[in-house]
């Protein structure tokens, strides 16, 4: 099974090696540490659990069983929070790493959930998107902008 970002309700960005995601449906926002951001980048490209394990094993020094377990937990958490979806797409394999790059000690991906800005995020019209994701606004009642218009 491959995974993809749930673009119908999630936006994300990698900032200073940390992944930040916002679920526009719930108003929750999340962050992932460095190893989690590495996994998130691969998920954006359509990685499978096996791809994630291989990528993290190549980038970090750690027990493969520990990495497999951490990837399983991460996928479960991302699914539970509706940040990712299963994908039939074959996706692209994770980018190859520079063989000369120094491997760092493995630190399990940590998903942190933040709810302190939930009300503000839900007030923002960016959460009213179509299945194509932002900036495609849902088509609905008379006051809803056309899908090719971005609300001001």
pLDDT attached to residue 20: 95
Is residue 94 scored above 80 in pLDDT? no
Ordered by start, the domain boundaries in the chain are 2-127
Q: Which residue has the higher pLDDT, 88 or 139?
A: 88
Q: Check: CB of residue 40 under 8 Å from CB of residue 19.
A: yes
19, 22, 97 from 119: Cα distances, Å:
22, 13, 41
- Write the DSSP symbol of residue 139: P
Pairing of strands 10-15, 2-5: unpaired
Quote the pTM value.
0.74
- For position 139, what pLDDT does the model report? 63
Enter the tokens of residue 47.
């990685």
Please tell me the distance from the alpha carbon of residue 17 to that of residue 86, in angstroms, as a whole number.
25
The pair phi, psi for residue 139, each rounded to 5°, is: -90, 130
Strand partners, 20: 13, 31
Buried residues in 40-72 as b, exposed as e (16+ CB within 10 A): bbbbbbbbbbebbbbbbbebbebeeeebbebbe
pLDDT bucket at 78, cuts 50 / 70 / 90: very high
Are 83 and 75 a contacting pair, CB within 8 Å?
no
Place of tokens 């994770």: 94
Q: How far apart are CA 18 and CA 5, in angstroms?
A: 16
At residue 151, does pLDDT exceed 60?
no
Give the mean model confidence (pLDDT) for residues 61-85. 97
């Amino acid at each position: 099974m491959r995974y993809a970002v749930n673009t119908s309700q999630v936006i994300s960005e990698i900032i200073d090696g940390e992944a930040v995601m916002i679920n526009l449906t719930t108003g929750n926002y999340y962050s992932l540490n460095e190893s989690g951001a590495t996994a998130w980048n691969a998920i954006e490209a359509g990685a499978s659990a096996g791809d994630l394990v291989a990528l993290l094993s190549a980038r970090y020094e750690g027990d493969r069983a520990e990495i497999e377990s951490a990837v399983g937990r991460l996928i479960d958490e991302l699914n539970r929070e509706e940040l990712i979806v299963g994908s039939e797409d074959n996706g692209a394999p994770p980018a190859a790493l520079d063989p000369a790059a120094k491997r760092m000690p493995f630190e399990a991906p940590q998903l942190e959930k933040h709810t302190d800005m939930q009300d503000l995020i839900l007030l923002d019209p960016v959460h009213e998107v179509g299945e194509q994701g932002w900036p495609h606004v849902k088509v609905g009642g008379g006051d809803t902008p056309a899908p090719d218009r971005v609300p001001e």
